[in-house]
């Protein structure tokens, strides 16, 4: 394994390591990619681990929960249906959340979590920021493939697609960011590369 501080199921290890390769700032961050059937509303969810939430932001560890099956209304959507590049983009979006969390204090993270539960405007801001982080780190093509896959997938309901259009960047906005940052993204800042 190229990243000794991450753990992931064998079935998605290749995609997890590929997504991680775009985030050099996370090289020493402990991150677990884990299948979990309790993820609600979304297919994946990134969060600090409970044991590390009160540690300094550079010493936190994170977990990315992934549903093997995602029920959208009466349709079941499984991880096996996701092409490798799309899965890499999806994981890259979640790592964008981790980058966002790394910049926040413990108190900020607590308020952040509360706002996510109750504010649609906050959800939109957070999800769009994660997309921005991913594109800024050179994952634009992967994020674009993920968006197009979700919006064009016939087994996903129109209600879910409407949710995605409301809270996440559109393919057109992703293309604008790719043009802004370049295909390889921006160079990471010194703060991003600060030791964990």
Q: What is the pLDDT of residues 127-169, one digit of tens each?
A: 999 999 999 999 999 999 999 998 987 677 788 889 889 999 9
Helix-strand-coil percent breakdown of the chain, rounded to 5?
Answer: 55, 15, 30
For residue 91, which of 170, 19, 171 has the smallest C-alpha distance?
19
Q: Considering the entire predicted model, what is its pTM?
A: 0.89
CB 16 within 8 A of CB 98: no
Range 32-49 average pLDDT: 83
Count other C-beta atoms under 10 Å from residue 141's C-beta. Answer: 15
So where are the chain's domains? 6-181
pLDDT of residue 57: 84
């Amino acid at each position: 394994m190229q990243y000794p501080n991450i753990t992931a199921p064998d079935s998605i290890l290749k995609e997890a390591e590929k997504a991680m390769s775009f985030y050099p700032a996370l090289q020493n961050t402990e991150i677990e990619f884990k299948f979990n059937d309790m993820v609600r509303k979304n297919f994946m969810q990134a969060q600090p681990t409970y044991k590390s939430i009160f540690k300094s932001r550079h010493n936190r560890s994170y977990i990315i929960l992934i549903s093997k099956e995602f029920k959208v209304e009466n349709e079941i959507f499984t991880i096996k249906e996701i092409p490798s590049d799309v899965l890499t983009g999806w994981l890259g979006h979640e790592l964008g959340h981790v980058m966002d969390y790394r910049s926040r204090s413990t108190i900020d993270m607590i308020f952040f979590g509360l706002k996510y539960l109750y504010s649609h405007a906050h959800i939109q801001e957070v999800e769009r920021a994660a997309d921005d982080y991913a594109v800024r780190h050179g994952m634009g093509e992967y994020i674009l493939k993920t968006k197009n896959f979700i919006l064009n997938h016939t087994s996903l309901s129109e209600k879910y697609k409407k949710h995605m259009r409301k809270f996440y960047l559109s393919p057109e906005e992703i293309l604008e960011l790719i043009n802004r940052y370049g295909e390889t993204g921006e160079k990471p800042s010194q703060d991003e590369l600060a030791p964990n």
